[in-house]
Every structure is written in C-alpha cells, then in structure tokens.
A = this chain, B = another copy of it.
Amino acid sequence: MISPGNLRQSSHLLSETQRPLLVTHVAPDGDAIGSLLGLGWTLLAQGKSPTLACQDVLPRRFAFLPGFEKVVQDPPPGPYDLLIVLDCSDLDRIGQIGEVVGRDLPLLNIDHHVTNTRFGTVDLVAEDAVSTTHLLYHLLQRLNYSLDERIATCLLTGLVTDTRGFRTANVTPEILRIAVELMEAGAPLTTITRNGLDRRPLAALRLWGAGLARLQSANGIVWTTLPVSVQQTIGHDGYGDAGLANLLISAEEAKVSVVFTEQPDGEVEVGFRATPGFDVSRIALQLGGGGHALAAGCRVPGPLEEAQRRVLALLREDLARQRQQVSPDDKRHPQPE
C-alpha cells in the first residue's frame, strides 16, 4: 500500500512541517472529513499547528466528529509551510481554496482514487485502500504514531462511509480487523454508522419518493427521472440525486439502474449503477463521463425526455452485447456479487 520511497518522502514532509494547511474536497463526505480531522489530530499530537479547511459547509450529521467545528471555509492567508490535500483525485477538487494558497508550497497529496492525477510534490496515493482513512491508518502505523480515541473515530468514519458500512466488494478480513482495532481505541461504531449512513434530510426522502413514484422497468433496466420542477417543489438542495441511484440498483429486477436528474441549466445528469457482471463505465465514457464498472455517470444535453430516450436506447444495445459476452461465464460463478 505504501512504498518505502513514498514513506520516506511523506515522513520527511510531515516531520519538517510546523504550520501545515490541510484541505479536503468540495461537497465533503465521511472519508473527506474523517481523513482531514484524523490527520489534523495526529499532527496536533506531534506538536504541529495545523489549519483545517474545506470550501463547503460540512454536513451537520458529522458534527459528532471531534474537531468538526475547527474546520474553516476561508483559511487565513498563512503563512503555511506545507499544503496537504486529502481524498482528492485532482487539485480542482479543493475548489477556490486552491486559488488562495501560494502555489510555491510543497504539496503532499494523500488519496485512494484510481483516477488520481499525481498533482503533489509527494503523491501518497494507494488505489488498493478502501478509503483515504484506510491509507492514513497504514501511514500512522508505519510512522509509529499512536492512535487515540479522537483519531480512531475519524479514521473509522472514513472506513465505514466509503465502504457503505462494510458492504462494498473490497472489504477483506483486514478491513474488519482494522475496524476492531479502531473500536478498541474508542471509536463508536454505532454512532458512526447511524450518522454517516443512516441519516438524511427529510427533503432527500421526499426526493426519493418522487423518483420512486416515477419508477420504470424494462429488460433489466430500472430507471427514473427527477425534473427540475419536482426538485424545486421539494426544496432539494441540488446535491445530485441524494443516493437514489444506489437505491434503484437494489431492485431484484435490475441489472442496471439509471437516474436522470434535470439541471437548472437544462442539461441532464445521468447516474448509472450496475449489478456485478455488468459494466456501465463504457457507456458513461462514450457519453463524455466516467466512473467504475458498477457506478458511473455523465452529463448530457437536454431536454429531459430526449436525453432519457437517447441514453436508454444506447444502454439497451450495450446491455444486449454484454449479456452475450457474460452468459457463458455465468455458470462458472455460482455466487455472483
């Protein structure tokens, strides 16, 4: 997960810094906040004076995390001696904070995304980590930094939210063993799962209701649309589809699911999900987007009805091709995931 060269370089930057600025991505999730705070507490324990920043307001459901209220949206001008960017596949992800910070600072890039562009002075990027906090856990171990209850709570939060509560296919026994160690250091698993996974604004539930009421299903494709007018009536804040695509793929009838979310500018955000054995990254790529085999997305021109027709036609063709390729293999995988 961490090469000796990477470890040496990261260790050097972390031991030399006195006033580091730590930044995570816009629209922050549990792993963004967990890795930001987890490394923040670690550096504080090492006698450093870290500043923690995120351009967007942190979702209130993470207020249980120690240090939540210390994260600033507009970091003071400094001076800083190191920029640490957490959980970002490229530097644009930190938003406008990137324009404020001096470009001449050494930059430590800590991330686990397969699409990371290696934008750091030192790139501590581990694609085999299930979360950025998973990578941080290994870094702390290798540097012999000790865990306390606060750090463990932050690290477990990223581990839990990025694996949807240990539900993704990359959860090995090692991940559960780390979870045990973090719990024994004081991390409250139930509080983390409850706040990180099982809480959402009423408006998100109403948006799901609107989407589910318009549910359609044919040929293994389950889909729905979210017109702007519906989003406005509900008072949805526009954070994508609020997880509706993940819900749709849970339908037993679905090989692939799609949510078409109309944008105020008339474009349509398309979120794809697939069940194991199918791949939606190719169609997303073909339409100018990207992603993984089981979760991908793109933006296409409106109007909504036309976008829906066009994407579903492409998807039907693509699925028919995939089915032909997949079927002979099916029998060799008696327990598909």
Contact = CB atoms under 8 A, between A and B. Distances in A.
Interface of A: 60-61, 64, 165-169, 171-173, 176-177, 179-180, 183-184, 188-191, 193-194, 197-202, 205-206, 208-213, 215, 217, 222, 247-248, 250-254, 276, 334-337
* Copies of this protein in the complex: 2
Contacts of A208: 208-209, 212
26 contacts: A61-B252, A64-B335, A167-B198, A171-B189, A173-B180, A173-B184, A176-B177, A191-B335, A194-B276, A194-B337, A199-B252, A200-B250, A201-B251, A201-B253, A202-B215, A202-B217, A202-B222, A202-B254, A205-B247, A205-B250, A206-B212, A208-B208, A208-B209, A209-B212, A210-B213, A212-B212
A252 B196 CA distance: 12
Contacts of A191: 335-337
B205 A215 contact: yes
A208 B212 CA distance: 7
Contact of A201 (B180, B189, B252): B252
Closest 9 CB pairs of A and B: A209-B212, A209-B213, A167-B193, A173-B180, A190-B337, A202-B251, A169-B190, A173-B183, A202-B253
A194 B180 contact: no
Contacts of A250: 198-200, 205
Contact of A205 (B176, B177, B184, B212): B212
A198 to B, nearest CB: 5
Given A165-B166, A176-B177, 20 more contacts: A165-B165, A166-B193, A167-B193, A167-B197, A168-B190, A173-B183, A173-B184, A176-B176, A188-B337, A190-B337, A194-B337, A199-B250, A200-B252, A201-B252, A202-B215, A202-B251, A202-B252, A205-B250, A209-B215, A210-B213
